[in-house]
Amino acid sequence: DEFPLAIWQTGSGTQSNMNMNEVLANRASELLGGVRGMERKVHPNDDVNKSQSSNDVFPTAMHVAALLALRKQLIPQLKTLTQTLSEKSRVFADI
């Protein structure tokens, strides 16, 4: 309902960015006691987007997602691997 977009879009993600701004503006308007649509209290471009370029939004979102994945998944697994290899090096030290 909220995201009536085709899966195929241009590379910049402008349609997704604009749609997300509209969804957020509608929800914010509801939380402020207003309505959805043209009479909403929060404007998707003026209040939500705040002059951000979709060329900045998508790369930034990808960087944040990558950092979170590194912190949550990769770094802990690398620590486990380091500990395991260290233990194995002690076990096989005399070989």
**Does 31 share its domain with 59?**
no
**Does 3 share its domain with 19?**
yes
| Residue 22 CB partners (closer than 8 Å, separation 6+) | 44
Enclosing domain of residue 11:
1-52
Q: Considering its fold, how many domains does the chain have in total?
A: 2
Q: Tell me if 64 sits within 8 A of 77, measured CB to CB.
A: no
**Does 48 share its domain with 59?**
no
Report pTM: 0.59
Torsion angles phi and psi, residue 46, rounded to 5: -75, -40
Tokens 């260290």, residue located: 86
**Does 47 share its domain with 19?**
yes
pLDDT in tens, 22-75: 999 999 999 999 888 888 999 999 999 998 887 788 888 889 999 999 999 999
- pLDDT, residue 13, reads 77
**Does 38 share its domain with 68?**
no
